[in-house]
């Protein structure tokens, strides 16, 4: 039995609130249950130094957490003077995941920065972030299309979404919330495209190593979860 009463293969309630931010070219508040992440896409007419004059663009991401997004207040990274290892790991993952479905040449020599800021956390902030970031990115490209800068379909090759799975109380479950995440024996994050391609896999044994069979079971759950998320993305932007 899961603490939330969900079935083993049941996602939390997911919602996308587009245009949450007045200023950003694209934005989306994504909710996976009590995990709420604000994703904004910011367009800049410049690229990082190593790409200059190459005709290619760039998509990058930053990740942050409000200090009291969590059960206990965490130290503000701006005040600590640096981003922690976990933050850097997550923002690198989000950036890679999005770039996997973007044609950087079709984007042109511009940079889109996706900020994923966790307003409230209850497990799965990175997977919610990736899933919402795709919507913000899409809307940013729509904004650009309206100004004849790009064709959305040429730049955005596919959907991308993510979900976590894990072994909780001996059973494989989909979309871990914080209570499950804290107690899980194994925690895996999967990032996949709308057409089912795998973009990223991160599997970690917390305590006991896991077997290949267990891992395949988790991947099966993830595939079904991501398939649902992609459908919701489609409904959202329709």
Binding site for a second copy (CB under 8 A): 21-24, 27, 34, 38, 40, 42, 44, 62, 64, 66-71, 73, 76-89, 91-92, 96, 100, 113, 115, 117, 119-122, 158, 188, 192-193, 195-205, 207-212, 215, 219
Please report the beta strands in 45-175, taking only residues with DSSP state E, as ranges in sequence order: 58-65, 111-120, 160-168, 171-174
State the minimum distance, in angstroms, from the CB of residue 235 to a second copy. 23
Strand, helix or coil for residue 121: coil
Strand 58-65 with 111-120, pairing: parallel
33 vs 238 by CB, closer to a second copy = 33
* 75 in a known ligand binding site: no
Closest C-alpha to 167, from 118, 103, 111, 216: 216
Tokens of 199: 């973009």
212 vs 238 by CB, closer to a second copy = 212
Contact by Cβ (8 Å): 49, 42: no
State the minimum distance, in angstroms, from the CB of residue 152 to a second copy. 20
* 126 in a known ligand binding site: yes
* 81 in a known ligand binding site: no
Q: What's the chain's length in residues?
A: 238
69 vs 150 by CB, closer to a second copy = 69
Instruction: Enumerate the known binding-site residues for phosphate.
Output: 86, 124-126
């Amino acid at each position: 039995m899961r603490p939330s009463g969900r079935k083993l293969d049941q996602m939390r309630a997911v919602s996308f609130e587009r245009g949450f931010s007045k200023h950003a070219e694209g934005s989306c508040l994504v909710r996976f249950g009590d995990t709420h992440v604000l994703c904004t896409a910011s367009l800049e007419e410049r690229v990082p130094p190593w790409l200059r004059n190459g005709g290619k663009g760039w998509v990058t991401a930053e990740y942050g957490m409000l200090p009291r997004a969590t059960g206990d207040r965490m130290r503000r990274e701006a005040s600590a003077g640096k981003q922690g290892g976990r933050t850097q790991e997550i923002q690198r993952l989000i950036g890679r995941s999005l770039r996997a479905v973007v044609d950087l040449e079709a984007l042109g020599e511009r940079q889109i920065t996706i900020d994923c800021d966790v307003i409230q956390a209850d497990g799965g902030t990175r997977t919610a972030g990736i899933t919402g970031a795709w919507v913000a990115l899409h809307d940013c490209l729509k904004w650009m299309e309206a100004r004849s800068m790009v064709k959305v379909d040429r730049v955005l090759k596919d959907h991308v979404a993510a979900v976590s799975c894990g072994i909780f109380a001996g059973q494989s479950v989909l979309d871990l919330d914080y209570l499950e995440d804290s107690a899980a024996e194994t925690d895996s994050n999967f990032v996949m495209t709308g057409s089912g391609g795998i973009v990223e896999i991160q599997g970690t044994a917390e305590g006991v190593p896991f077997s290949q069979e267990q891992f395949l079971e988790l991947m099966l759950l993830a595939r079904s979860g991501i398939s649902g998320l992609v459908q919701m993305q489609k409904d959202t932007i329709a």
